[in-house]
Structure 1
Amino acid sequence: MSAPPRLSDRVPHVAADELVDALVPPPRFDRVRFDTYVPNPDEPSQAAAVKACREFAERVSEGGGEGWLGRLFKRSGQDDAKPGLYLDGGFGVGKTHLLASIWHAVPGPKAYGTFVELTNLVGALGFGETVRRLSSHRLLAIDEFELDDPGDTMLVTRLIKELTAAGVSIAATSNTLPDKLGEGRFAAADFLREIQSMSAKFTVVRVDGPDYRHRGLPDAPPPMADEELVAKSESTPGSTLDDFADLCEALARIHPSSYGRLVDGVTAVHLRGVRPAPDQAVALRLVALGDRLYDRDIPVAVSGEPLSELFTAEMLRGGYRKKYLRAVSRLVALSR
């Protein structure tokens, strides 16, 4: 039996026009709608969030191409309506489900992307061209708004300012750290402070609850022996098999905007000899790859160290902690 192909040997390329066309929800959210979100009865904020997101989507849809100021003046009794909606909450409470549901409910033109995908788009097209291409949209949905890189935060803040001035409505999500959930709107306060003058244009909606990815589920399976991992990869059509170190080197040669193309068509990823990321640069690339695997619901199997040990204790104490914890949550779910 021939060995499975390696991700490390792929050289994906995505043209700038494809980056714009690809601004849609990940495949795993193709069928989500407000009606498919099942609120936790123990968390009343979830049902309230569904209601707020429905109302926001209706408001954006009814506004047509008039811009948000036109919508506000046209609809009496809606003086408190804002062009932005921010979903605040911890990992795995369904914020992305709600964000994708908003996107599905609003007629086009519209765009959906993660914070990182937007910064990649600006890097590929330039700021002015990005604004030009997105200014005709009714809605821009931004998943996983990140506050750990001041330069990128200000870049996307400026993008939001230009787009809302052009009449585009914005919906965004971010995450509260698990150990900050008891402190109220920690992430929301950070978000509103970081986007400064834009903060008055966002309505904050809280979504509380435990991480559904680990609700009542077992821990991640232990790593396989190398021989077992190879056998599993060989018996799984469409799978890949990589030495972890080789894949880390390959990711350094590929722009993160192409990681989605890298795993297109793959049914399962097998990583041999997993070890904690040696530095922040490698760790952040692994986060980006993990997000694309999660978007496509591609299972992951490993030998070596468990995926929960992918990031060192020092990394988890640093500025990218939120990003690393999200990646662990997603990768552990995929490893089941």
Structure 2
Amino acid sequence: MHLTDRRPEIGADELITALVPPPRFDAVRFSTYVPNPDEPSQAAAVTACSEFAGRIGGGAPKKRFKLFGGGSATPSGPMGLYLDGGFGVGKTHLLASTWHAAPSPKAYGTFVELTHLVGALGFTEAVRRLAEHKILAIDEFELDDPGDTMLVTRLLKELTNAGVYVAATSNTLPDKLGEGRFAAEDFLREIQSLSQRFSVVRVDGPDYRHRGLPDPPPPVDDATLEASAEQHEGSSIDDFDKLVDHLASLHPSKYGRLVDGVSMVHLRGVHAAPDQNVGLRLVAFADRLYDRAIPVLSSGEPLSNLFTEEMMQGGYRKKYLRAVSRLTALARDASTAKA
């Protein structure tokens, strides 16, 4: 199977019904989160998220949706919860647990999926449909594009005005989003107004994916790569450069569908991303592989070399570090499967 032969399409109605946690986080709950005893903020975050989810079912009835100024709901606390911390501290686990604990109807998606939803349905229709939910959980809240910043800020204002609770994760505090990427005062004002809608919960700690684990496995040769692809049913195998070109032809919101049903991904001839655009697409691709717990076996350069030193020192540093962390975990899974 070649991922480059796949061209997934997602209908507008399916975009709404697909707003649920990915397979890796389908069964997580607060009870399955194991706080690091050396990091008290982790146990505190479990309590904060649980209390937030518990508030959603109570209080006054939700306000009926009215676009452009429906008034603000008056819950016992902020309408938004923001989980801030480094990569690998379990923020997505906590976000998904919050979603599972909250009453239905509810929606869960990545920031990229949310912006794609608005593009597919139109702003008014997207707000109307999302306003029917009691909570919207947004993972990987990012500001890669100034237009997306303004769009999502406006969207969340309308949803919280309509009585929808919002929980989100990112690697940066709400009032610091965009730092190191944009300098426009207009966007900073938008970000500041959005940050006021959230209570911020800090989650500290080292990357749990690599605590006490050995170094990542080295790449394999091409013959071993091809033998593994033949051995594991449902595997895909692609030349890295061809896959990079294919990813450029798809909206990132379709990357999950691209790898649905794939048991193991094999990449031939991995090397450093040639530019920032390719790097960010690979970050989104790595996130979707991790969501679905799909092992990754590769030849060429180590996956840890996927992003150049210049990229790792730039404004998207945290994204690239998260991607390397997740790909390293998936490479370990592949090494175990190969054995």
Query: TM-score, length-normalised on structure 1?
Result: 0.90
Work out whether 1:7 is the aligned partner of 2:3.
yes
SS in 2 for 1:195: helix
Partner of 1:27: 23
1:206-239 superposed Cα distances (whole Å, 9 cap, x missing partner): 1111010111112221000111111111111110
Deviation at 1:194, TM superposition (A): 5.2
Deviation at 1:71, TM superposition (A): 5.5
Work out whether 1:296 is the aligned partner of 2:313.
no
**Alignment match of 1:334 (pick from 330, 333, 337):** 330
**Alignment match of 2:121 (pick from 100, 121, 125):** 125
1:130-172 superposed Cα distances (whole Å, 9 cap, x missing partner): 1111011100011111134332122111110010011100111
Give the unaligned 5+ runs of structure 2.
Answer: 64-70, 178-187, 333-339
Partner of 2:85: 89
Cα distance in 1, alignment partners of residues 190 and 330 from structure 2: 32
1:276-297 superposed Cα distances (whole Å, 9 cap, x missing partner): 1112222222111111111100
Deviation at 1:318, TM superposition (A): 2.2
Cα distance in 2, alignment partners of residues 198 and 110 from structure 1: 21
1:294-334 superposed Cα distances (whole Å, 9 cap, x missing partner): 11000000000011111111212222222111111111111
Asked if the contact 2:174/2:191 (under 8 Å) is kept, the reply is no
Cα distance in 2, alignment partners of residues 96 and 306 from structure 1: 26
Work out whether 1:237 is the aligned partner of 2:233.
yes
SS in 2 for 1:261: helix
**Alignment match of 1:226 (pick from 222, 226, 230):** 222
Q: Which amino acid aligns with 1:268?
A: M
Partner of 1:55: 51
Partner of 2:195: 199
Asked if the contact 1:148/1:319 (under 8 Å) is kept, the reply is no
SS in 2 for 1:272: strand
1:165-220 superposed Cα distances (whole Å, 9 cap, x missing partner): 111001111114xxxxxxxxxx3541497522232221111111101011111222
Cα distance in 2, alignment partners of residues 166 and 273 from structure 1: 50
Change beyond 3 A, Cα 1:65–1:234 = farther
Cα distance in 2, alignment partners of residues 167 and 36 from structure 1: 29
Cα distance in 1, alignment partners of residues 233 and 304 from structure 2: 26
Q: What is the number of residues matched between the two proteins?
A: 315
**Alignment match of 1:256 (pick from 241, 252, 255):** 252
Partner of 2:242: 246
Q: Which amino acid aligns with 1:26?
A: P
Change beyond 3 A, Cα 1:123–1:36 = same
Question: Alpha carbon RMSD of aligned pairs, Å?
Answer: 1.7
Asked if the contact 1:65/1:138 (under 8 Å) is kept, the reply is no
Partner of 1:281: 277
**Alignment match of 1:190 (pick from 164, 172, 176):** 176
Asked if the contact 2:175/2:192 (under 8 Å) is kept, the reply is no
**Alignment match of 2:165 (pick from 169, 177, 180):** 169
Cα distance in 2, alignment partners of residues 220 and 317 from structure 1: 22
Deviation at 1:65, TM superposition (A): 4.1
Work out whether 1:308 is the aligned partner of 2:294.
no
**Alignment match of 2:212 (pick from 204, 212, 216):** 216
